[in-house]
Amino acid sequence: MPKATTVRFTDEMFARLDQASARTGMPVNSIVIAACLEWMQRHTPGEPRGQVEFPAELPRLTVPTLAAAPRWSTIRRAVEQAVGKRPPAGMYPFQRFTGKAQNLLTLAQTEALKAGYSYIGTEHMLLAAFGDADFQSAKVLAALGVDEATVRSTLDKLMAKKKRAVPTRIIPTSRVKLVIELAFKLCDSTGGLKVGTGHLLLALATEEEGIAGHVLKDLGATKLSIESELGGLTEPEA
């Protein structure tokens, strides 16, 4: 008769499992099972050592020490959900972001982790928009007179009374997924091939109900003003 058990992992170990899942396409549970089977094969007395023969539904798996995976693996999954389907193997919607936009999303996740949040919110995306002076988002915000120190101060006051849960797994909020979806639509509407940091900033302002949308509006960075500044940028974002 099948038996069930519950295994708890440290945040670091779960993050490594999540990275492995993102790379292999296997569910975390399958990776854990495969690793356990391999360990048993290697360490159970009397059993021949070598590569484990896994059930047909599981690929052969050797679990190496993982190199640092992109911190945007969780964000990439949110992108896939935002566009409503999983892409063909090897082709991810995340590739439709410019390199700088990928960096912005990575920084958003880092902002959330540093602050001790278990979620990635629009406020973290807004802070990440300042992450590199070459970001279109950073250029637009600078042109509109919106500086990082003011945004951080405003967000600190807004979030001061919020109780922070101990992060066990960091996930994007549904509003972030909506912002990502809007960024895709804004990019498509202008005939763009890749979503850039400017599209992400514009999407934050377009989605007016999020924290980032409110802060941008209060600081004078409206959807129309951001669109106007983006229109004046002549250099495409890589």
Q: Return all residues near 116 (Cβ < 8 A) that are at least 6 apart.
A: 164, 166, 167
Please state the pTM of the whole predicted model.
Answer: 0.64
Q: Which residue has the tokens 């912005």?
A: 104
Q: Do 151 and 220 reside in the same domain of the chain? A: yes
Tell me, yes or no, whether 238 lies in a domain: no
Q: Do 12 and 96 reside in the same domain of the chain? A: no
Token pair of 24 as six digits: 């292999």
pLDDT at 217 (0 to 100): 94
Name the nearest CA neighbour of 100 among 75, 131, 71, 123. 131
Cα dist. 37→17, 68, 70, 189, 193 in Å? Answer: 16, 24, 27, 50, 44
What region, left, alpha or beta, does residue 6 occupy, with left being phi > 0 and alpha being psi -120 to 50 degrees?
Answer: beta
How many domains is the chain partitioned into structurally?
A: 2
pLDDT at 51 (0 to 100): 37
pLDDT at 9 (0 to 100): 65
pLDDT at 40 (0 to 100): 65
pLDDT at 141 (0 to 100): 97
Q: Helical H runs in 117-206? A: 122-128, 136-143, 148-159, 174-189, 197-206
* pLDDT averaged over 10-residue windows placed end to end, the chain, 238 residues: 64 66 62 68 51 36 38 53 50 77 90 86 95 96 96 89 58 87 90 92 93 94 94 86
Q: Do 130 and 214 reside in the same domain of the chain? A: yes
Tell me, yes or no, whether 79 lies in a domain: no
Distance between CA 164 and CA 94 in Å, rounded? 29
The enclosing domain of 220 has a CATH number of: 1.10.1780.10
Q: Do 97 and 160 reside in the same domain of the chain? A: yes
DSSP state of 97: B
Domain span holding position 14 = 8-69
